[in-house]
Amino acid sequence: MWYPVIRRALFALDSERAHRLALEALRVTGRRGTSIRSTAPTDLMGLRFSNRVGLAAGFDKSAVAVDGLGALGFGFIEVGTVTPRPQSGQPRPRLFRLPTSGALLNRLGFPNDGAEVVAARLRRRKFRGILGINIGKNADTSISRAVDDYVNCLRLVRGVADYVVVNVSSPNTSALRELQARERLEPLLSALLDERTQGGTKIGRRLPLLVKIAPDLTSGEIGELATLIKAMPLDGVVATNTTVSRADIPDADTLQSGGVSGTPLRAAAMRTVKALRACLGNAFPIIGVGGIDSPESAMAMRIAGADLVQLYTGLIYCGPSLIARCVRALEDVKGSRELNTGTCARIRLRRRIGCFP
């Protein structure tokens, strides 16, 4: 019940400054916490997740607070997006709260300390949960040379990652979403898969490789992507990134450029997950992210077809208690994929704590 007080204080500050303060607090004090222990661990992609609830990429871009975040009870943490070279990102202001909509708007543009620094930092981590690293290209690298950036980034982080996500779907790096087109994505993924094979002997294991896609794709585009994903030895897909749509947002015409996360993203994210599950079949791993702000929405994402879920904006609005509540709700189904709305209605969820003012 203490988080609403902290949230009021943080929301009185500029969004990015508040986020930096929260990360610093987690870095300094978070290691004293205890993790939630799941009674229903999940095996996926050759990895064992202590629970199905993770932190989405974007929250801790440079992996400065992984130990503190892990102490909050996440089953897995995804850091990044990390680029080969450090970069400062877009000019400020570039992160905005939309409290009426339960949303955030960002045009950060991958600010991070660079893959080499992030990898060195992660070698010192105490967090023993599953650690994913989300990789991208530098803003000043042309699309024609993007493959080089992704491959270099993979080389730098593969020794400290449990899995790696290829981010080709952020709306905040110029032309990046063009990489989702088959003619660009296929050679990119082929190069990364070749690099994974060559690097496997160095790290002594097979590194799971996933791709993160946008929520703004048509059903035809999703189907084409799914066909490509099935044809390649990828290990999973993350759905979805932020949306450029302004649907269901009051005064949308006043918003600045950038990607929207949170409640307005939920329907598109779940639609994308459902379409992917239909195309990819029951066995292919899907991580669902977008608009999860309650146990009910976490369950809905599972029903749509996600094996694991990730939080970001919901965590900012609802606080750390959201993690435990989602973990317990997802444990109630004992890992079964045979979910439907009737099953969801019969599951006894813990009383939801209100998130929004």
- The distance from CA 315 to its chain's CA centroid, rounded to whole angstroms, is 12
Closest to 16 measured CA to CA, from 92, 113, 114 = 92
CA torsion through residues 225, 230, 232, 236, sign: positive
Please give the structure tokens belonging to residue 147: 């493959």
Q: What is the DSSP letter of 112?
A: B
Per-residue DSSP letters for 248-313?
T-TTGGG--SSEEEEGGGHHHHHHHHHHHHHHH-SSS-EEEESS--SHHHHHHHHHHT-SEEEESH
Packing angle, helices 295-304 and 266-280, rounded to 10: 30
Please give the structure tokens belonging to residue 138: 């530098």
Instruction: Check 50, 101, 169, 170 and give the catalytic one.
Output: 170
How far apart, in whole angstroms, are the C-alpha atoms of residue 120 and residue 198? 21
How far apart, in whole angstroms, are the C-alpha atoms of residue 19 and residue 217? 30
Closest to 259 measured CA to CA, from 56, 86, 114 = 56
Catalytic residue list contains 297? no
Query: Do residues 138 and 109 touch, judged by C-beta distance below 8 A?
Result: no
Q: What is the DSSP letter of 101?
A: G
Closest to 79 measured CA to CA, from 52, 55, 51 = 55
Residues with catalytic roles:
170
